[in-house]
Amino acid sequence: LKRCRKKGEVSVTHLKRYSLISRLEAVMGEFSQRGAGLVQPVRSVVPLQKHGGFLGLMPAYLAHEDILCTKMVAFYQREQGSSLPTTQATVLLFDPVSGVVSAVMDGEVITARRTAAVSAISAKLLMPRHAEILCLLGSGHQAVSHYEVFTQAFTFKEVRVWSRSKERAEEFARAAGGPVTVCPSVKEAVEGADVIVTATNASEPLLFGKWVKSGAHVAAVGACRPDWRELDDDLMRDAVVYVDSREGAAAESGDVILSGAEVFAELGEMINGSMPAQRDKTTVFKSLGMGIQDAVSAKLVYDKWKSQQ
Ligand SMILES: NC(=O)C1=CN([C@@H]2O[C@H](COP(=O)(O)OP(=O)(O)OC[C@H]3O[C@@H](n4cnc5c(N)ncnc54)[C@H](O)[C@@H]3O)[C@@H](O)[C@H]2O)C=CC1
Ligand SMILES: O=C(O)C1=NCCCC1
C-alpha cells in the first residue's frame, strides 16, 4: 500500500488490495440486502452489573461461503489506571455440516483489525476528498489498530491523538510508526480535522458538534451501550448518520437512541450503491461491530493457518 501512495493523495483505489477490507465490504454489502443467505441476530448482551461489565454473544452464519462462527466478547468500564483489559474476545469457527468446532481463536487482534478496517471503509467513502488531518480520540487497542489501518490506507499530513491520560497519549505517539501530535484537549485535537476516530470507553459525550469542521467524517467506535455516549446531540443531529446495522444501532447505540438522530443509511447500502455517500456533508459512521465481520475475518485467519499446515 505504501508503495502505491503519492504524496497528498488519498489512495482509495488501493484499499481493494487489502484483502480483509474487500472481504468486509462484500459481506456488509450482502448484509444490507437482507437476503436469506446471511444470518446474524442482533448481539445478545448479558449485563454483569456487579462488575461493571457485559458479555456479548455474536453468532453469524454465511450460507454462500458456509462459514459458521460466533464471538464471545466481554467488555468492561474500568477505573482509570486499572491493569485489567477492557475488552476480551474469543472466536469459535464451526464446521456447519457437523456442528463440530474447527477452531477456537483469541479474538483480540480480529476485533481490533476488523473494527479499524470497517472504519477505513467508512472513511474511504465519506471523508473529504483531500483529507489532510486525522485525529484519534483515545489511545487504547482500537486507537492503535485505527492508526495502523488508516495510515496504511490513506495519506495524512498530520495525525493527532488525544487521550484522557497524557502519558498514555505520549506513549501512543512514541510507539506509532510515524509522527503523531499529542493534543492537550479534545477541542484542540479535533479543530480542523478531516477525519476523527472516537475510540474510548466514555459513557458521556466527549466530542461536540460545535468543534467539528463542516464536512469532516467521524468514525465513532465506542459507546456501544444504549445509555453510553461519545458524541453530543448537535453532532448527531447535524451530521448525516451511517451505521453498520440499523437493528444494532436501534438496540445498542446511545448516540443514536438518545439523540433521536435519524439513521440515513447502513455502510452496506452505500457499498451496494442503494444509498448515496454524502461526502460533502459532515458525516458520522456509528460502528457497533457485527458477527459477520468476525466471521469473515476469522475465516481468513483460519484459511491462512490451514494453508501453512
Ligand atoms: N465498534 C466496534 O466494533 C467495537 C467497539 N469497541 C469499543 O471501542 C472502545 C475502545 O475499545 P479499546 O480500544 O479496546 O479499549 P481500551 O481500553 O484499549 O482503550 C480505551 C480508551 O478510552 C479511554 N477512556 C476510557 N474511559 C474514558 C472516558 N470516560 N473518557 C474519555 N476516554 C476514556 C482510555 O483512556 C483509553 O484511551 C470501547 O468502548 C469498546 O467497547 C471495541 C471493539 C469493537
Ligand atoms: O463488536 C465487538 O466486538 C464489540 N463491540 C462493542 C463492544 C465491545 C466489542
* Ligand (nearest to CA of 57): 2
Q: Is the CB of 165 under 6 A from ligand 1?
A: yes
Check if 246 has its Cβ closer than 6 Å to any atom of ligand 1: no
DSSP assignment of 70-132: EEEEEEE-PPTT--S-SEEEEEEEE-TTT--EEEEEE-HHHHHHHHHHHHHHHHHHHS-TT--
Mean pLDDT (the chain) is: 94
Place of cell 504524496: 7
pLDDT tens digits, 240-258: 999 999 999 999 999 999 9
C-alpha triplet 48, 287, 153: angle, nearest 5° = 130
pLDDT at 18: 61
Give yes or no for residue 85 having a pLDDT over 50.
yes
Residue 70 beta carbon below 6 angstroms from any ligand 2 atom: no
Q: Is the CB of 138 under 6 A from ligand 1?
A: yes
Pocket probe mutation, ligand 1, options 55, 82, 86, max atoms within 8 Å of Cβ: 86
- What band does 5 get if pLDDT is binned at 50, 70 and 90? very low
Q: 289 CB less than 6 Å from ligand 1?
A: yes
Whether pLDDT at 80 is above 90: no
Protein residue closest via CA to atom 1 of ligand 1: 288
Ligand nearest to the CA of 89: 2
Query: pTM of whole model > 0.90?
Result: yes
The closest-lying atom of ligand 1 relative to the alpha carbon of residue 86 is 17
What is the ipTM for the molecules in this complex? Answer: 0.99
Q: Is the beta carbon of 139 within 6 A of some atom in ligand 1?
A: yes
Tens digits of per-residue pLDDT, 199-232?
999 999 999 999 999 999 999 999 999 999 999 9
Closest residue by Cα to atom 17, ligand 1, is: 86
d(Cα 226, Cα 267) in Å, to the nearest integer?
A: 20
Q: Which residue's C-alpha cell is 492508526?
A: 147
* Predicted pLDDT at 3: 34
Least confident piece of the model among 14-18, 184-188, 253-257, 294-298: 14-18
Nearest alpha carbon, ligand 2 atom 9: 73
Looking at residue 2, its pLDDT comes to 35
